[in-house]
Amino acid sequence: MAKIWQNWQIAPEVKAVLNNAPEVVFPASKKEVLDLAMGGKDFVFEVSYEVPGKGNVPEAVVVKCRNGLSVNFPEPHMRRRDPNCMFIGDNSPTDKPRFAEAFPQYKFADVRQETFDWLAKQELAVLCTNIGGEETGLYGILIAPKNAGCFIGALADIQGVVPPTDLSRTFAPDAIIYLAPVFRHTHFNGKQVVVNNRLPNVHEVFSYNLYPGPSAKKGIYSVLLDIGEREQWLTLHGAAVQVVTPYDNITAILHEGASGSGKSEMLEYAHRKTDGRLLLGINKVTKEELDLSMDQTCLLRPVTDDMAISHPHNQKNNPKLVVRDAEQAWFIRINHITHYGTDPKLERACIHPSEPLLYLNIDGRPGSTALLWEHVEDSPGKVCSNPRVILPRKLDEDVVNSPVEIDFRSFGVRAPLCTVKNPTYGIFGMLHLLPPALSWLWRLAAPRGDANPSILTKGSGLVTEGVGTFWPFATGKAVNYANLLLDQIAATPQTRHVLLPNQHIGAWKVGFMPQWLVREYLARRGAAKFNPAHLEAARCPLLGYIPGQIKIEGTTIPEQFLHVEMQPEVGLDAYDAGAQILTEFFRSEIKKYLQPELSRLGQDIINCCLEGGDLEDYKKLLPMTY
């Protein structure tokens, strides 16, 4: 292809990279991308680079399977996202670590040029892609070594491929990702590093590792959040689904939260035992198991899996939140699929796909079928907690491609086991209804929750994921996003707010069954309002209201799954101890937002919490729709 980039509106130093590279290819289809990923090999291709002083260092091994490509990374710490890998290379306002502070031995301008010098010596592939969907009008390019087709393929699936012939002669990208895996060895001691450089006309993302999570996936999220911060709109960190009852009523739920909080699971059908029953939970103290029977469940129409864009083009003055997917494929974590039959719909889609898929951290063998439950091991006997499959939206026949009005906005929390002997913040019941002001506070405190499987963490305990739980990917000022979230909640009063736990309810191990059952419950209620007389204030005010009863298809959920303090293995003392943990965590996190830039309403809501306000106080600040 002729040097079409000569007329593009890109910096001279970027043009120089493309001009000087020995070869530049422009994959224009998924087939071309997958061919690159195999590097001309039939079944096994090693992605490796020459590192001064270390020789040829392998970064990934790509295996061709019957149903796609299995990509694995030799180093276990490269198989998941490091939450502390983002740095800011520019001087614009930010609350994130700046490159100059984290790496005082370097000047970013020098490292940027060194990156360009290294890329100019490689055979390159340039991928043109949408950013956030066609309605945003945003486009980006990836400049990567040609042998990194596995990374290119991830971005191609997630954001789509735009043939370069479809671009204008004077194309001006809104974002550029530069991939240079070797720099993690030469500059960053083997660690994951992603540098965002927000220039006046383009957002640059420098990816110094091959695992696509922090850059091909979340790097684009950073771009959307940056542009949204400037233009006053949000890309929410949530999965949305239309739930169609057996009676053809449709309810839309947006489930937000940190990694591991149940976003992808909100799009999954409830996992059943071999006899068809649902395992509500296992009491970890008494070893009792509680099963439920439910013959009729709702049809699920997925809307978004992780990035729900709320663009002004769709929102306008709608009193309900309106979202659509910012991605064309989903980066699905499958650590919970440990055997055949766990999630038949997803398994069927991935075992017999209509086009080859990309699998990460799956033990795929050459020429065999990659299976979702065969995860690679990080060490002997310890399986990787972050196996993934990238599933294009178009392969789900029930997917919704249009903007959707949200009826319920839920927030998910990974709750730890809570007992008399070991009190924790795992005091959540199955369903909590939140006043909008309190719902906003949950998005400020944004607990990451217990035993997060997706990212590298040190230690345990309650830590924050940052404002909106999208903060790990944002590049600007946290208070700006806090204002945007509050404005959004206040402007959409007909969207109701709930809180849903997973993993544990008190002493019961429950997995994601609570949110699957609540999804069925809320869908059957639909537009019907909750009678305030049938709601009880939770013992801990941060948990809002608890319905007096939850009944689904004639099955009543035991009261101890709504009021955790009623479990004999927990009791009032352990509950109150957990409430204290939660309260202290909230107070320590939300007071950080009491800055002059925070809106007056936001300051009043935070002060209400810090002063021990009750639910009636929150409702006075923002009315609650039941």
Check pLDDT > 90 for residue 452: no
Q: Residue 223 — pLDDT band, cuts 50, 70, 90? A: very high
Q: How many CB atoms lie within 10 A of CB 502?
A: 24
One-letter amino acid at 311 equals H
| HSE-up of residue 165 (Cα within 13 Å, Cβ side) | 4
Q: Which two tokens stand for residue 135?
A: 């309605």
Q: How many CB atoms lie within 10 A of CB 461?
A: 12
Check pLDDT > 70 for residue 58: yes
The C-alpha atoms of residue 288 and residue 428 are separated, in whole angstroms, by 20
Check pLDDT > 60 for residue 264: yes
Q: What is the mean pLDDT of the chain?
A: 95
Span between the terminal Cα atoms of the chain, in Å: 60
Check pLDDT > 80 for residue 454: no
Mean pLDDT within 411-424: 97
Check pLDDT > 90 for residue 366: yes
Q: Residue 550 — pLDDT band, cuts 50, 70, 90? A: very high
Residue range 14-52, pLDDT digits in tens: 999 999 999 999 999 999 999 999 999 999 999 999 999
Q: Which two tokens stand for residue 396?
A: 């789900």
One-letter amino acid at 491 equals A
The C-alpha atoms of residue 482 and residue 500 are separated, in whole angstroms, by 21
Check pLDDT > 60 for residue 459: no
Residue-level pLDDT at 295: 87
Show contacts of 589-598: CB within 8 Å, 24+ apart: 589/444, 589/445, 589/446, 589/464, 590/441, 590/444, 590/445, 592/478, 593/444, 593/467, 593/478, 593/479, 593/482, 595/479, 597/477, 597/479, 597/480, 597/483, 598/479, 598/482, 598/483
Q: Residue 580 — pLDDT band, cuts 50, 70, 90? A: very high
Residues above pLDDT 90, as percent of the chain: 93
Residue-level pLDDT at 38: 97
445, 468 in Cβ contact below 8 A?
no
Q: Which two tokens stand for residue 403?
A: 């903007």
Compute, in degrees rounded to 10, the torsion defined by CA atoms 586, 518, 348, 405: -80
User: Domains, the chain, ranges and CATH?
Assistant: 4-231 (3.40.449.10), 235-321+406-621 (3.90.228.20), 344-395 (no CATH)
Check pLDDT > 80 for residue 374: yes
Residue-level pLDDT at 99: 98
C-alpha distances in Å from residue 344, one per residue of 271, 347, 350, 380, 386: 9, 5, 10, 28, 20
Mean pLDDT within 589-594: 98
Which residue is it, tokens 């310890």?
A: 382
Task: Give the global pTM.
Answer: 0.94
C-alpha distances in Å from residue 115, one per residue of 183, 392, 596: 8, 31, 39
Residue range 434-443, pLDDT digits in tens: 999 999 999 9
Buried b (16+ CB within 10 A) or exposed e, 138-169: bbbbbbbbbbbbbbbbbbbbbbbbbebeebee
Class of residue 287 by CB neighbours under 10 A (exposed 0-12, middle 13-18, buried 19+):
exposed
Check pLDDT > 70 for residue 476: yes
The C-alpha atoms of residue 443 and residue 433 are separated, in whole angstroms, by 15
Phi and psi at residue 32, to the nearest 5°: -65, -35
Residue-level pLDDT at 453: 59
3 state SS of 424: coil
Q: Residue 342 — pLDDT band, cuts 50, 70, 90? A: confident
Longest pairwise C-alpha distance within the chain: 74
Check pLDDT > 90 for residue 449: no
Residues above pLDDT 70, as percent of the chain: 98
The C-alpha atoms of residue 259 and residue 239 are separated, in whole angstroms, by 11
The C-alpha atoms of residue 319 and residue 326 are separated, in whole angstroms, by 21
Which uninterrupted H or E stretch holds 358?
strand 357-360
The C-alpha atoms of residue 501 and residue 432 are separated, in whole angstroms, by 9
Residue range 293-341, pLDDT digits in tens: 998 899 999 999 999 999 999 999 999 999 999 999 999 999 989 999 8
Mean pLDDT within 111-140: 95
Residue-level pLDDT at 68: 98
Check pLDDT > 80 for residue 515: yes
Residue-level pLDDT at 343: 87
Q: Residue 510 — pLDDT band, cuts 50, 70, 90? A: very high
Mean pLDDT within 507-532: 96
Q: How many CB atoms lie within 10 A of CB 171?
A: 18
Compute, in degrees rounded to 10, the torsion defined by CA atoms 399, 142, 257, 249: -10
Residue range 133-169, pLDDT digits in tens: 878 999 999 999 999 999 999 999 999 999 999 999 9
Which residue is it, tokens 């974590």?
A: 333
The C-alpha atoms of residue 376 and residue 364 are separated, in whole angstroms, by 9
Annotate 557-606 with DSSP letters as a single string.
PPGGGT-GGGSTTTHHHHHHHHHHHHHHHHHHHHGGG-STTS-HHHHHHH
Mean pLDDT within 393-402: 95
DSSP summary character for residue 512: T
